[in-house]
Amino acid sequence: MEEMYVRLLETLPTIALILIAVISLAILSKSADFLVDEAVSLSIRWGIPKSIIGATIVSLGTTLPEASVSVLAAIQGNPDLALGNGVGSIIADTGLILGLAAIIGYLPIDQRTLNRQGRIQIGSALLLVIIALPMFGRNNQGIIHQWMGFGLLFLLVVYMFMMVHWAKNGNETFEKLDVVKSPAILQVAKLFFAISMVIFSSKLLIPSIELSAIRFGIPQSIIAATLVAFGTSLPELTTAIAAVRKGHGELAVGNIIGADILNVLFVIGAAAAVTTKGLTVDTSFYQLQFPAMVIILLAFRRFAKSKDHCISRKEGIILVSLYMVYIILSYTWIR
């Protein structure tokens, strides 16, 4: 299906591609808006903190684009894209998206969420770096073996059960909001419809932008290193911005922390599990991607542990700056 509409887009004039990109972005933004409303409404109905909803249902839904891209890349024998998409999305989510969210509006940090999911966020990233080391690979080359992929997926199941357990037994409180009380089944259906629209619009937006960029003479290598990695993180970006603008910053933070965890356990885990050869790790990951991922995650955790329990605008600028440095350095690896 995806290949079919990509071929269709290739036959369209550039002006039509630009128009499709604009419309897709509008649908994406509105869908993310709707997604935030339904997620907050469900959190109130079920007595679950918004940060928990953000770290499970919302983050799982918005991580599906990365998962589909990475799994398809692994099946097609492109491990660099499969692994790079997952790692690059963590960097974009934590550096660019949380940074922009902090710059745009108030970004509070739920300390219980930070102490629980935040530790898993750092732990899963460090686990990825460890299993990717050459000592676990072959011929001094790192390989994330298929069995490691299944191990990551098992940890994903454990993580989800832990989240449900914490939600049922926690004492988190949140402010009461006035929401329209519709049937729970209808609200869940609306939530998943919003997630599907976010994913569909982002998948339509990415190829339309890529094709337009190619026609304007932008090198394919630069497009792959920027637009694809950024494009798969569009659901997290639009959801985070919509959440902050509506005054639900903790939902944005929970979504990004959950997305970072899922990028390791779900995206990279599934990509490694679908191929018997596993995911080979290029040396560039040790030189740039892994260090950048760890630095940005540690910077976020340092800022989140501040006494005022929020990410300030200044700290948001620092996170975005770190991401921009990463992008600039990435160009030196493009040949």
At 267-304, the pLDDT tens digits run 999 999 999 888 888 887 888 889 999 999 999 999 98
> Quick one: pLDDT band at residue 325, thresholds 50, 70, 90?
very high
Residue 18 above 60 pLDDT?
A: yes
Which run of H or of E encompasses 205? helix 184-215
Residue 275 · residue 76 · CB < 8 Å: no
> Quick one: pLDDT band at residue 167, thresholds 50, 70, 90?
low
At 48-68, the pLDDT tens digits run 666 566 566 666 766 777 777
For position 177, what pLDDT does the model report? 43
DSSP secondary structure letter of residue 143: E
Domains of the chain: 49-171+217-333 (1.20.1420.30)
Q: How big is the chain, counted in residues?
A: 335
Tokens 């649908």 map to which residue? 27
Q: How many CA atoms lie within 13 A of 75 on its CB side?
A: 8
CA angle, 254 then 264 then 81, to 5°: 120
Residues sharing a CB contact under 8 Å with residue 138, sequence separation 6 or more, in sequence order: none
Q: What is the rounded average pLDDT of the residues 162-169? A: 71
For position 32, what pLDDT does the model report? 65
Q: What is the DSSP string of 86-100?
A: HHHHHHIIIIIIHHH
Q: What is the rounded average pLDDT of the residues 242-248? A: 79
Q: Which residue has the higher pLDDT, 313 or 237?
A: 313
Residues 308, 315: Cα–Cα separation, whole Å: 13
At 89-106, the pLDDT tens digits run 899 989 999 999 999 888
Beta-strand pair 279-281/310-311: unpaired
Mean pLDDT (the chain) is: 79
Q: The pTM is what?
A: 0.75
